[in-house]
Every structure is written in C-alpha cells, then in structure tokens.
Amino acid sequence: MSTAEPVLKPDFSARRKHFIFTDEHEQLRESIRAFAIKELAPHAAEWEKTTFPDSVFRRMGELGFLGLDKPEEYGGEGGDYYSSLVLAEEIVNAQSGGLAMGLAVHTDMAMPPILAFGTEEQKQEWVVPAIKGEKILCLGITEPDAGSDVSGIKTRAVRDGGEYVINGSKTYITNGHRADVIVLVTKTDPDAGYDGFTLFLVPMDAPGVVREKRLEKLGMHASDTALLAFQDVRVPETAVLGQVGKGFYHIMWELQGERLIGAAGCVAGAQRCFEQTLKYAQERTAFGRQIGKFQVIRHKFAEMATKIESARQLTYTTAWRFQNGEYPVREISMAKLHAARVAVEVADECIQIHGGAGYMVEYGVERVWRDMRLNRIGAGTDEIMLDVIGRSYGL
Ligand SMILES: Cc1cc2nc3c(=O)[nH]c(=O)nc-3n(C[C@H](O)[C@H](O)[C@H](O)COP(=O)(O)OP(=O)(O)OC[C@H]3O[C@@H](n4cnc5c(N)ncnc54)[C@H](O)[C@@H]3O)c2cc1C
C-alpha cells in the first residue's frame, strides 16, 4: 500500500523572514512599526507643512532607535548593520519621506564617520547626545557649484596657528536648519588632488556659520533643507574629523553606508505603496468588477512585485556582504540605482492604478512619488551610480 503523496500548495500569505534577520530583528521591526503608526503617522500631513519637530529625535532617542547599530559604550544598542536596515524599512510607516530622510542623515550619514574616524572626545561630545536625540547632526558635502563632482568643492579650511579658518558654502543640506553640528567636507590643500580634503566637526552656533535660505522642494516637505554659508569660521584643530588630507576617502566610505540604507528605504517605501494600492484595486470597481481583476491591472501588480523583490534581494545580499566585512562598492551602487528606480516606477504605477484619486493629495500616493523621486538624485545620481558600476569593470 503506497503512502499518499503530500499535496503541495503554495501559501502566499505565509509569514516570510529573510535569512539575514533573526527573531530579535523581527521584534524590533514590530516595535518600530507600532511606534511609527501610533506616534508619527498621525502627524505626517501636518509635518508636510511645518517640517517635523525636533522632539521626534528626543522621543526616538528615549526608545533607543537612534543607536540601534551603534556601540553600547556610547549609549547605542550594539546591534548589527541589519538593525539599521530594519529602522530604514519600518520608518516608512510614518508615511513621511522627509522625516525618514532627516533621521537617516542623523543616524546613517553623519554619525558613522564620527564613530569611525573621530577621537574619543568627539564621540563623547557629539555621538553620545546624538544617540539620545539631544543633539542633531547634518552632513555637508554639496555646494552650489559642486555636487556629483565632490572633488570640485571650494570650501576652504586654512590653518592659522592652532586653528583652522573656514570659508565657503554648502547647499541642499538636510537638517541644516535644526542641526547642532555639521560634518563638513573642506579642501585643506588645493594642490594635493584627492589627498587635499579634510573633514571637520563644526558646531552650527560657531560665529560665521550662517543658515541662509530654507529651500523649497518638489517633495520631502517634512525635512528641512538649508543653504549654508561659512564666513571666517574659526575652529580649533581638535575639530578635524579623521586624518588631515584624507577627507575625500573618509566621505567616499560614508557614502557607501548611506546608499545602502537609502536602497532599503526605497524598497520599503515601494512595498508600502504597493500594498496600499493593492487594497485600493480590491475595493474600487469599474465596469462591474474590481479593477484588480482586469488582467492589465493584475499584470501591473505582478511587474511591480517582481521589481520590488529583485531590489530587496539585491539590497539584502549586499547588506549581508557589508555586515560580513566586505566593501562591496559595485553592488552597493547597483542596489542604490536599482532600488531608487524601482521606487519611482512603482509610485508612478500606483498613481496610475488609483486613477484620478492617485492625483489627489488625500490618498498620499502622489506624495510617495514626489518623495521617492529624490532617491534618483540624492546620495549620488543614477548617472553617477552607473559610472561607478561601469568603471568597476576597468572601463
Ligand atoms: C532634498 C535634497 C536633500 C539633500 N541632502 C543633502 C545633504 O544632506 N548633504 C549633502 O551634502 N547633499 C545633499 N543633497 C545633495 C545631493 O546629494 C546632490 O544634489 C547630488 O549629489 C547631485 O549633485 P548636484 O545637485 O550638484 O547635481 P550635478 O552634479 O550638477 O548633476 C547634474 C546632472 O549631471 C549629471 N552628471 C554629473 N556628473 C556626471 C558624470 N560624470 N557623468 C554623467 N552624468 C553626470 C548628474 O547625474 C545630473 O543628472 C541633497 C539634495 C536634495 C535634492
């Protein structure tokens, strides 16, 4: 007598967990999600008009969310890199791209170089209160005349006895109006090529730091974006972050973590938009049936899901390599490029599936499109990502 063959049926609603994540990551995921839905999302619409308040940093500091992957000795949670991916993914439930960006600049752009290259005093002065949410960080690379071409920046830091005098300007600086300190990229030796750059930690209340315009934008309205001027700003030599002359390499390293976190945020943002639109397609009817039952709409979902999944797998596998000590610049560039494109394509398709509702502010999909559009520009444009990838093959 033969035993009956088990009948295999796909279970599309089964709970999935990628192998990089543990049960602890999943618990963290739940608590960040609950916090974002309960305490942040209800204010998202209002913060589009006012930008989100500094109290969000303090609250997230209290909850331990600003130092998830940071060392315990500085007040962090001592988690792995994946825990910061979890934050980048779950914070999309706040429904505010601008808020997610402001936080990511603080935790994953400005803080890592201080931890990696800073002195013990610098870490105590800036990282410890930043993890508590009591001090806010920003990062200044871009200038009015140089963005993609970082080597073309003009902000100069000139040594004068035991001090440096800084002159120049930075633009599009996220958190620039609220920050307590800026990780500032300067040129200290214009004749030394890539070896002529130095990073500084400049307190934003130092005499000569001018917070100029609050810049208006297409999206990310909940974030503040500043044009900054540095006019004869004097800082002691203890404000140098990392090695004098090695700032270019330090900031290129920083950009890798920033890009990967950005990719994770894009995947999660696209997924959230997909789910919201799926619900809409199951409720909205036309010509006597749910619009999701039209094959053309069903296929749009299939295309979107496939794109999101490919971006997710690329991001996770690259994160796994990063966490395991590799420096996978090519794959990080691929993940950043692909995830940003996917997020914009998905948001655009979600507007289409919503029809006229998609064009209305009320449904929030148009905001996702506007917010996501930045990701093809910020932290290195699509074209720069393509160039990094192409050059990695010796071309
Ligand atoms: C909302 C927002 C927030 C931002 N936050 C910050 C921040 O906190 N800190 C910060 O330092 N910066 C920030 N930026 C700046 C951002 O990183 C830059 O805008 C981005 O790097 C592009 O630089 P750019 O704007 O000068 O464009 P450009 O470098 O002038 O590029 C213009 C166009 O030329 C293309 N291009 C340039 N060089 C090449 C090349 N070699 N090959 C092919 N194409 C090329 C670009 O891809 C782009 O399409 C922010 C920007 C925005 C919009």
Give the per-residue SS3 of 269-303.
Answer: HHHHHHHHHHHHHHHCEECCEEHHHCHHHHHHHHH
Is residue 5 scored above 80 in pLDDT? no
How far does the centroid of ligand 1 lie from the alpha carbon of residue 13, in Å?
40
Angle (CA) 91 364 309, round 5°: 55
In sequence order, the 6+-apart residues with CB closer than 8 A to the CB of 222 are 44, 47, 48, 51, 52, 96, 97, 98, 99, 102
Per-residue model confidence (pLDDT) at position 384 = 98
Question: What is the best residue among 139, 142, 169, 228 to mutate for testing ligand 1's pocket, by most ligand atoms within 8 Å of CB?
Answer: 142
Of 353 and 6, the structure prediction assigns the larger pLDDT to 353
Tell me 236's DSSP state.
Answer: E
Atom of ligand 1 nearest to the CA of 143: 26
Would 23-135 and 139-244 be classified into the same CATH topology?
no
**What are the tens digits of pLDDT across the range 163-200?**
999 999 999 999 999 999 999 999 999 999 999 999 99
- Tokens representing 12 are 């599309």
- Whether this prediction's pTM lies above 0.85 is answered by yes
Alpha carbon nearest to ligand 1 atom 38, residue: 148
Predicted confidence (pLDDT) at residue 256 exceeds the cutoff of 60? yes
pLDDT digits (tens, 9 = 90+) for 320-351: 999 999 999 999 999 999 999 999 999 999 99
Tell me what the mean pLDDT of segment 290-315 comes to: 98
Residue 6 pLDDT level (bands cut at 50, 70, 90): confident
For ligand 1, the distance from its centroid to the CA atom of residue 53, given in whole angstroms, is 26
Residue positions annotated with a catalytic role: 258
Instruction: Specify the higher pLDDT residue, 393 or 15.
Output: 393
Pocket of ligand 1 contains residue 381 by CB under 6 Å: yes
Q: Express each pLDDT in 26-65 by its tens digit.
A: 999 999 999 999 999 999 999 999 999 999 999 999 999 9
CA distance 78 to 49: 36
How far is Cα of residue 8 from the mean position of the Cα atoms in its chain?
A: 41
What is the per-residue pLDDT for 98?
A: 98
Q: How far is CA 331 from CA 74, 254, 390, in A?
A: 31, 15, 12
Cβ of 383 closer than 6 Å to ligand 1, yes or no, is yes
**Sorting pLDDT into bands at 50, 70 and 90, what band is 259?**
very high
Long-range contacts of 122-128 (CB under 8 A, 24+ apart): 122/201, 122/238, 122/241, 123/74, 124/74, 126/180, 126/181, 126/201, 127/70, 127/74, 127/75, 128/74, 128/75
Q: For ligand 1, is residue 139 a contact (CB within 6 Å)? A: yes
CATH class of 23-135: mainly alpha
Question: What is 139-244's CATH topology?
Answer: Butyryl-CoA Dehydrogenase, subunit A; domain 2 (2.40.110)
Residues 379-389 pLDDT 10s: 999 999 999 99
Cα–Cα dist 268/72, whole Å: 27
Spatial contact of 334 and 256, defined as CB atoms under 8 Å apart: no
pLDDT at 16: 79
Mean pLDDT along residues 63-83: 98
- Can you list the positions of beta strands (E) in 263-391? 285-286, 289-290
Rounded mean pLDDT, 277-290: 98
pLDDT, tens digit, 9 for 90 and up, residues 88-133: 999 999 999 999 999 999 999 999 999 999 999 999 999 999 999 9
For 276, phi then psi, to 5°, come to: -60, -40
Residue boundaries of the structural domains of the chain: 23-135, 139-244, 249-391
pLDDT at 130: 98
- Asked if the model's pLDDT at residue 1 lies above 80, the reply is no
Q: Return the percentage of the chain with pLDDT > 90, whole number.
A: 95
* Rounded Cα–Cα distance for residues 303 and 347 (Å): 13
The Å distance, Cα 335 to ligand 1 centre, comes to 18
- On whether the 249-391 domain is CATH 1.20.140.10, my answer is yes
Count, in order, helices (H) and strands (E) of the chain.
14, 10
337 closest CA partner among 390, 272, 284: 390
Residue 2 has pLDDT above 60, yes or no: no
CA 212–ligand 1 middle distance (angstroms): 20
Q: Can you give the pLDDT at residue 13?
A: 85
Q: Is the pLDDT of residue 254 over 80?
A: yes
Assess whether the C-beta atom of 148 lies below 6 angstroms from ligand 1: yes
Bridge partner list, 158: 165
Q: What is the pLDDT of residue 283?
A: 98
